[in-house]
Structure 1
């Protein structure tokens, strides 16, 4: 039954997503806010499809700040990359270049305001990421990063990539770690199963802390659901 649900979800979600993404140029004619609103329509459709077809619901724990913030989230599945777009009111999301290079979707992501970064973490790539994040902050948007650098399975706790520390130091925004356990119902391989995905907002970490302190606090809070 899980495989049937998964296949139906993939057919429904991707077949409807294609025209939604393809129509982004129309929204782009009306400015950045229209593109963000367009993306929110897509992510709310994703929420509907995961709930109705897969039986996945979300639970929110903790409280997020009302002002723009720098969010650092655990990454176990595609689920949170879409869910957090709506949940955080359209944040500028740090995105690996491989995704930004996908035809059409990559253009739409850039138009949305995704912050593109190379995996090699070279000095030039880091400077570019910081420039784009600073520009997004200036427009009043929150910034979202998955600081472990890639999707991991439940129980894996890799160290944070250097990009987190660079943005934490540059942005000087209140930093909010988010724990997420989506990998339990949305594994890397195999069918997706029904259940509840928890997003736990940790305590706000103020700007200006030493790098080691900020990283330790974020890493611990991101993995709090697995403690």
Structure 2
């Protein structure tokens, strides 16, 4: 019975969440069209609405740990669901994403991604995509901010292993910025697909910075180790054993 009730609560939560998205987007549009501050305020307002409703509708409490950066840094993050996008973005003052270009065609999200100068890349053309990523990032550096990149390139379910893509290493070399990795467990409670939401504490954790100047292979190995180990620990904290998943 309790499981059935949680299904109903999850369904209602997801429905209201997607109803609110265009409403909040339209409400902020007059400001957002002329100001990145307006676009940012819209996205953070919507995210906080989701956090609030998630807590009382489905029992998910969102928690940010560590020290979110405020300067111009590269933020390679573990990506498990839509929730970590909102939590990471909201935790920093002037964040923007590197994203697949298909997202720009998504209603509301795509329009606001353009307003925030997010960097869109074509994942089907890896070499050209990386070159474009670096050039777009450089051209957009007139506004200092936190550049979020999902190093595995997509949402990865809890316990599933996926390679870290070379794009993060190229940006690390080319931009010569401090890196602040992010670990998470949100996929245990809010899966990448499906409606069901499980009660618990969803965490994104900003880890210790990695200084620029290391060889690419050394940096990538360190990045993967710290993010995966900490994400696994957070998932265990949420009641999920990542080692039990067969790959």
Q: Same fold (TM over 0.5)?
A: yes
| CA displacement 1:112-160 (0-9 Å, x = unmatched) | 2211111124333222222222234331111001110111111123121
Give aligned pairs, total. 227
Q: Deviations over 1:31-78 (max 9, x none)?
A: 222211222111111211222212111233333344232111111111
Using a 3 Å threshold, how does the CA distance of structure 1 residues 92 and 73 change in structure 2: closer, same or farther? same
Instruction: Identify which range, 194-203 or 58-67, moves more after superposition.
Output: 58-67
2:235 pairs with 1:225: no
CA distance in 2, matches of 1:29, 1:128: 25
Q: Which moved more, 1:104-113 or 1:48-57?
A: 104-113
Q: Which residue of 2 aligns with 1:211?
A: 216
CA contact (8 A) 2:80 2:155 kept: yes
8 Å CA contact 1:177–1:222 kept in 2: the answer is yes
Which residue does 2:242 correspond to in 1? none
Residues 90, 40 of structure 1: CA spacing in aligned structure 2 closer, same or farther, 3 A cutoff?
A: farther
Conserved? CA contact 1:137–1:171, under 8 Å: no
CA offset at residue 95 of structure 1?
A: 1.3
1:174-189 to 2 correspondence within 5 Å? 174-187=178-191, 188-189=193-194
- The CA distance in 2 between the partners of 1:137 and 1:167, in whole Å, is 13
Structure 1 CA distance for aligned equivalents of residues 227 and 26 of structure 2: 34
Q: How many angstroms apart in 2 are the aligned matches of 1:66 and 1:125?
A: 27
What CA distance in whole angstroms lies between the structure 1 residues aligned with 2:94 and 2:52?
Answer: 18
Question: Matched residue of 2:181: which SS?
Answer: strand
Q: Which residue of 2 aligns with 1:99?
A: 103
- The answer as to whether partners of 2:70 and 2:92 remain within 8 angstroms in 1 is no
Matched, 1:162 2:166: yes
Give 5+ residue unaligned stretches, structure 2: 234-247
- Given the two structures, how large is their TM-score scaled by the length of structure 2? 0.85
Question: Could you tell me whether the CA contact under 8 Å between 1:27 and 1:38 is conserved in 2?
Answer: no
- Select the residue among 10, 33, 36 that pairs with 2:40: 36
Matched, 1:74 2:75: no
- Partner residue in 2 for 1:86: 90
Unaligned runs of 5+ in 1: none
Please identify, of 64-73 and 83-92, the stretch whose mean Cα deviation from structure 2 is larger: 64-73
Give the TM-score normalised by the residue count of structure 1: 0.91
| Deviation of the 1:186 alpha carbon | 1.1
User: For the structure 1 residues 25 and 124, does the alpha-carbon distance in structure 2 shift closer, same or farther, using more than 3 Å as the test?
Assistant: farther
Does structure 2 conserve the Cα–Cα contact (< 8 Å) formed by 1:92 and 1:133?
A: no
After alignment, is 119-128 or 70-79 more displaced? 119-128
The SS at the match of 1:176 is coil
- Report the Cα distance in structure 1 between the residues aligned to 2:6 and 2:65, rounded to whole angstroms: 27
